[in-house]
Chain A
């Protein structure tokens, strides 16, 4: 069934129509309705919370709870694009045709002649990884930190992506839930419950010897008693657990993937071996009086960092991690919160081996960036908020909203190199403006404590490609549309979309140039920035040339992803 009623003068009747009342026989309402089913069993899902909101105003959200038949039905007044989402215990909150972790989904297009009343919302049940962290004696390691990673394609690149961390309970049990299907890796780290006690005991003979020395010095030579003997357990194995990957691997390379199907549960256990640990002492070279600060030792796992130990920075500018197993770490020490002149932050990569380590961390004042945003091109004022974002080399993000007077500022920036992006749906950052008005690339190197002032040009000189993805003349819902620049070094020029419920797609804010355009049946796992994959894709793609401000309408036939044989490592 289509939106069957003629559209009337909307304003006055809006409230009534939303409430589902047909006033005076001149109802102006469309119906978005259908059924929520489990993606595997196709059984209807009752007690699912279904919401519908215009994609441009998510807070104007309509909500319903499905009955046992899984059905939902929303009368809506305004044509447009709507986001349809569901949530139910056991199912991660998800949008219609949402693939994996990425928030890409298909909007429901409401307009005359479009059937929105027979939607089938296939909801994917969340997958679970649960298990136990234990030690070499098969005793549980309470409060162990467990992190999971997924091998996934993000932004066209296959990567190992951090997907969460949790602390095991007092008896070593952990549970990750609401995960999408995929290949996961898991690592566990922890502290032996007896580590602190053993290290304190190791201190006693030394403390006694020091105290005795003080007595001798004070009294001019007492009889010299021997310090009490210290006798550790002859079977002593160590005071720390090195980070361990499932199944019982010491390194990333030896880790085995955990394969999760939709709705599946993997039960795994990890055994942490005992190892001897060393101490890592750090000294800050920060000038002036230092306020409260904290140092964190991050365990470097894959491309991510997992906080492992924390220590307070003492007034004498030192801190110490007493019980560190061998491994790769990064130390980050920073002042607590807030802005201000004496904020500081230091980071240092350290490789910890078999002996104690002393590290001096060079001072690094926080930098800042401020400036104004200049709009060029078509000159219209932006409709929504504009943001300026700095991306550091570890995928860290600092973001600030552009103020009404077009100024922006970002503070507390650690020294480093940043990529700059800005804009909203209509604008993208084009260039920085140099002192002589010249255009500078959108990268920025901020040195320690540097205050950078630089204006940023945003451009609306952007092109748009719209169209419908079809297969044998039928619109394809949820197809993956990819626009690749012919020159792959133009990394900022890639654009992707997923087709909406009418098979339509829209690629916007595109710089001019030559592109490949392709629609794939399933884009979830396509590493399109991989040169081999890109080469296969380009052969099946349509070549498109865009001049500034072009608005093209291009129908595209869908290509079966499986047929392209894109398997990437």
Chain B
């Protein structure tokens, strides 16, 4: 019999109506009963992988990963264009674990971590609620260079000035009031009466900082509810208007005004879909980038434009902004030092601003369908795709290249023309961008060893390997097994810092502990023994839980 209980890690109470799916000699699923219990009768003995999920809960494993700035996360793009986001939020994260079913095996105990929330109200200088203001929840994540700020939620205030982020994974957050932000609205005719109030806001970090570093960090433990109220004076705001040259009448159009490197648009944008006249209202003083994008379906074509402007104390009138088409970027891959030439490679260009202008390529054979048991052959490979990123519109981009599967290969270089684009942001303009050349190498390094805590092997501790320098891309983690052993492989040679933690450390804890630094050479297999530090938010009962967990 396979049985167990799903528990709230903060309260130890059973979680009802959680989904427990299992796969092994038999596959299936059960929902937990009111006390969090589940059981599957008449199941063959053997090892089963379990996935447990429930809205409002995240897994401890996810949480450990999420507290660090890992591979670039497209969800961090910020401007929520609505639907797409919300749809993708429907499925809660699942907690993965393994259970052995044999005579006399104990029931499994699976802990899920309850999400936290931040809520608040936004009032203006007259203590009147500000309606429709954009508020961002920004996760504070550790990287070796310091804290990284990753926008994870965008909300809007209602008629009471109230906003809420109801489902945040526990962790550190700052909250930013960004002002009015809206999607592009269309109008016809020559007149536009937007009914705006000529008021705007400079962005402010809770409670009154002008940068994330000066903001109060809200440390949210499992199940915590934090409050972040704003009282913010509005200032006079102005309109920007003009015309898009080279406009395709009737085509989907988006106009957005960004403050500096901000990813959340400012003001309310209007565009006349037959003439290309546009207007952005309620823009407070500051320097801005105006971006316009059009999409024409037949034939599929993207057009884009970007213009810098400064708003001081008056409106900006009669701009002419020329649209230009996107560029095609051929991609070539070279494989060195024993890299698998038939492996799958995922190449993706993440634009700074628009989700819809993400460009990606899957190079190599089709991936295995998910969850097929061992020994089942792959279906026929998909036909090879042309190796070109097409219609790349002007913007700043960030590149991710990821070898799929477990070959242990790594990306050693990525160049666009002569530009090194492996890490960080780079601009692609309207002109030829050159070829993207990616090099994959097979001589990756690995690190393994034993983690101890108070002189004893420490099963279940988390090990974090962070690249030195760079932007947090390439962070790798592992959880120790029953013997306290860890192993991280597929590491690009270079300088790293490694830490082991019992529980999940805060950003501050991560940054305050130097850990071990190491330089890994090509093909090196390094063994390093680690002493785990204890994270402050580790529950006292963890020790006991580990003992009873899934034997």
Contact = CB atoms under 8 A, between A and B. Distances in A.
B388 interface: no
A230 interface: yes
A167 B155 CA distance: 12
Interface in A515-541: none
A208 B373 contact: yes
B295 A228 contact: no
B91 A338 contact: no
Contacts of A336: 252, 295, 297, 300
B373 A228 contact: yes
A337 B51 CA distance: 41
Contacts of A46: 126
Given A63-B198, A89-B161, A207-B372, A337 B29 contact: no
A338 B252 contact: yes
Contacts of B195: 85, 87, 93
A216 to B, nearest CB: 11
A424 to B, nearest CB: 10
Nearest to B34: A137
Given A197-B21, A198-B29, A292 B300 contact: yes
Interface in B185-223: 188-193, 195, 197-198
A212 interface: yes
B424 to A, nearest CB: 32
Contacts of A47: 126, 128
Given A338-B296, A385-B190, A142 B376 contact: no
B269 interface: no
A316 B128 CA distance: 55
B91 A292 contact: no
Interface residues of B, number: 67
Interface string B354-392: 000000000000000111110011010000000000000
A211 B376 contact: yes
Contacts of B75: none
B189 A170 contact: no
A204 interface: yes
B28 A231 contact: yes
B137 to A, nearest CB: 12
Contacts of B21: 197, 201
Interface stretch (A115-123, A171-179, A181-189, A451-459): A171-179
Nearest to A399: B188
A214 B377 contact: yes
A101 to B, nearest CB: 15
A291 interface: yes
Interface stretch (A5-13, A298-306, A339-347, A488-496): A339-347
A191 B90 CA distance: 8
A413 to B, nearest CB: 12
Interface string B332-368: 0000000000000000000000000000000000000
Interface stretch (B243-251, B256-264, B462-470, B521-529): B243-251
B406 interface: no
B108 interface: no
A169 interface: yes
B129 A291 contact: no
A178 B166 contact: no
Interface in A223-275: 228-233, 235
A49 interface: yes
Contacts of A58: 191, 193
Interface in B290-338: 295-300
Interface string B88-106: 0111101000000000000
B6 interface: no
Contacts of B188: 387, 399-401
Contact of A139 (B17, B25, B249): B17
Q: Which of A139, A191, A204, A400 has the most CB of B within 10 A?
A: A204
A205 to B, nearest CB: 7
B326 to A, nearest CB: 15
B149 interface: no
B92 A230 contact: no
B134 to A, nearest CB: 15
A336 B91 CA distance: 27
Nearest to B157: A89
B51 to A, nearest CB: 8
Contacts of A140: 55
Contacts of B190: 385
Contact of A170 (B55, B197, B295): B55
A467 to B, nearest CB: 29
Nearest to B273: A337
A379 to B, nearest CB: 24
A119 to B, nearest CB: 20
Interface string A193-216: 110111011001101100110110
Contacts of A137: 16-17
Contacts of A232: 28-29
A412 interface: yes
Given A142-B89, A177-B159, A170 B167 contact: yes
A338 to B, nearest CB: 4
A90 interface: yes
Given A211-B379, A387-B189, A231 B249 contact: no
B540 interface: no
B512 interface: no
Interface string A312-345: 0000000000000000000000011111111100
A89 B369 contact: no
A291 B298 contact: yes
B518 interface: no
A59 B193 contact: yes
Contacts of B268: none
Interface string A488-509: 0000000000000000000000
Nearest to B199: A49
A201 B29 contact: yes
B379 A292 contact: no
Contacts of B17: 137, 139
A171 B128 contact: no
Interface in A125-144: 126, 128, 137, 139-140, 142-143
Given A169-B166, A204-B27, A339-B250, A143 B89 contact: yes
Nearest to A93: B195
Contact of A201 (B27, B40, B197, B373): B27
B55 A142 contact: yes
Interface string A85-120: 101111001000000000000000000000000000
A114 to B, nearest CB: 25
A332 B60 CA distance: 42
Contact of B191 (A59, A142, A205): A59
A400 B189 CA distance: 8
Contacts of A400: 188, 274
Contact of B295 (A128, A178, A337): A337
Contact of B56 (A171, A214, A215, A229): A171
A88 B128 contact: yes
Contact of B369 (A126, A207, A342): A207
B131 interface: yes
Given A88-B128, A90-B159, 19 more contacts: A59-B193, A167-B86, A170-B55, A193-B55, A200-B370, A201-B28, A208-B376, A211-B377, A218-B377, A229-B26, A231-B28, A232-B28, A232-B29, A292-B297, A336-B300, A337-B295, A340-B299, A343-B297, A401-B274
Interface of A: 46-47, 49, 58-59, 63, 85, 87-90, 93, 126, 128, 137, 139-140, 142-143, 167, 169-171, 173, 175, 177-178, 191, 193-194, 196-198, 200-201, 204-205, 207-208, 211-212, 214-215, 218, 228-233, 235, 291-292, 335-343, 385, 387, 399-401, 411-412
19 contacts: A59-B192, A89-B159, A89-B160, A93-B195, A169-B164, A171-B167, A175-B159, A193-B53, A212-B376, A214-B379, A228-B24, A228-B25, A232-B28, A233-B29, A235-B31, A291-B297, A292-B300, A335-B298, A336-B297
The 3 closest A-B pairs by CB, nearest first: A231-B28, A340-B298, A337-B252
